[in-house]
Structure 1
Amino acid sequence: MTGLLREGFGATGPGAVTPDGCAVELYERLPAGDQPAVIAAAVPAGARILELGCGAGRMTHPLVDLGFDVTAVDESAEMLAKVHGARTVHSSIQTLDLGTRFDVVLLASFLVHAHDPRVRHELLASCRRHVADGGCVLLQREGQGWHENLPRESPLGSDGVARVLSSEPAGPGVRSVHVEYVYPDARWTQTFLSRPLTAEEFESALTAAGLAADATLTPDGVWVRALPV
């Protein structure tokens, strides 16, 4: 395993990892589930999508297959090397400035729960900077009680399982989350920092970045559409 991890983040398992502990080989395997369909139902057909933090293309590839024009951004060159069918940009989200705007900006993978509020604001500011007038930002947030009733597991396709093993206090308002991913031929773990947000804190963060929640896209409230204001 290679990669320089940020403080508070950890990983075990085969292959290269990103600074926040995401294993490239693992993220190649993770299924997208119904998330591309949720996105497609919330935006115009054929929309230009800017995907921030695309990883190895877990959602990029099905979105391209659905006919969307996707620009995929990630800070990991190893992750981007796995992406096909989309324009790729090697950059951090916070510093990104493409000089153009998109019909849809996508911020998935719970990135809005960055443990540092300054980073969260920079992520949302990048969303606002790149969304067109009349466009939208789609965000994935933690569901209610996500840090409770652990351990909890969910299937990964037909042969894998993900287990959220623990979520422990790691500072004021911050949790340290430990997850394992098990397949018949490999096992990975990831430890990362998360800042849970109340509904009021989430909406306040959007407001500070010039966005406003428009609709909840899934019954569990995990996917939200926001509009520029």
Structure 2
Amino acid sequence: MGEFAGSGPGEQTNDGCSVEFYCRQPYLGELDEIMALLPANSSVLELGCGTGRLAAHLAEAGHRVVGVDDSAAMLSHLPPSVTGVQASIETMDLSPQRFDVVLLPSHLINHPDAAVRAAFVRCAARHLAPAGVFYLKRHDPSWLRMVQTGFLAEKNGVKYSAEAVRRQGDLLSITLVYQAFGERWTQSFTAEALEAGAIEALLAEQGFGPVQWLGEQRLWAAARLMA
């Protein structure tokens, strides 16, 4: 359990994401549940920005965005309106910069290694302005526990299916298949199903206060640092 890999046309990143696939994807509403909560003209740090689909949407809305990713290939697709930083989230330190908003989207909090999850949250804490807000998005734990092999969905011209599903306790190892543009990509990864209480405890351990759960499925968590 715990292997990350990818296949298909173009370059794959260390976590199995295919650069060519993601640079062809538009913004798909991933931030819609929190966009109205961001103060106008916020400084925003997006951790794990990839090709900048979300960062570009934030910049178009008037925010000042810095996007962090460890893949130079991903960052090469950022629009000019987004400042890119190539770094590992776990060790990055942009001091003395602080941000009104720090984002950890894309279910990165479900990393199978608890130490990595804690490092992600520490990174957010050291880059958050005193009155800033940290937003993270988790996988739906029910989906992680129930998904099976086979066809999953078709959205915006992309067919999604699952292969090689394996479980060990709360850990799911899965290969997702994306078919679009006449091409086929795969991403293999392991994720840990996290209930709300586990994330609240993790945030508290790193100095955050009460958590507000957002969205119909309560997948977005918002928290501020304790004074």
For the criterion TM > 0.5, the same-fold answer is yes
Q: Which residue of 1 is the match for residue 83 of structure 2? A: 87
Unpaired runs of 5+ residues, structure 2, are none
Q: Which residue of 1 is the match for residue 60 of structure 2? A: 65
* Secondary structure in 1 matching 2:32: helix
Q: 1:78 to 1:52 in 2, by over 3 A?
A: same
> Any idea what the Cα deviations from partners look like across 1:179-215, whole Å, max 9, x if unmatched?
1111141111111011111222111111111123432
Amino acid aligned to 2:177: E
Residue 163 of structure 1, CA deviation = 2.6
Amino acid aligned to 2:167: P
Q: Which residue of 1 is the match for residue 201 of structure 2? A: 204
> Are 2:155 and 1:160 aligned?
no
Q: TM-score with structure 1 length normalisation?
A: 0.90
For residues 20 and 186 of structure 1, what CA distance do their matches in structure 2 show? 20
Moved more, 98-107 or 215-224: 215-224
Of 10, 16, 29 in structure 2, the residue corresponding to residue 15 of structure 1 is 10
Once the two structures are superposed, the pairs formed by residues 69-218 of structure 1 within 5 Å of their partners are: 69-84=64-79, 85-99=81-95, 100-147=97-144, 148-151=146-149, 153-157=152-156, 159-165=157-163, 167-170=165-168, 173-218=170-215
For residues 188 and 76 of structure 1, what CA distance do their matches in structure 2 show? 18
Q: CA RMSD in A?
A: 1.7
For residues 30 and 209 of structure 1, what CA distance do their matches in structure 2 show? 34
Residue 165 of structure 1, CA deviation = 4.0
* Secondary structure in 2 matching 1:105: strand
For residues 226 and 154 of structure 1, what CA distance do their matches in structure 2 show? 32
Amino acid aligned to 2:225: P
Q: How many residues align?
A: 221
For residues 46 and 37 of structure 1, what CA distance do their matches in structure 2 show? 17
Check conservation: 1:13, 1:189, Cα contact below 8 A. Answer: yes
Q: TM-score with structure 2 length normalisation?
A: 0.91
Identity %: 33
Unpaired runs of 5+ residues, structure 1, are 1-6
Amino acid aligned to 1:127: A
Once the two structures are superposed, the pairs formed by residues 36-55 of structure 1 within 5 Å of their partners are: 36-55=31-50
Check conservation: 1:210, 1:228, Cα contact below 8 A. Answer: yes
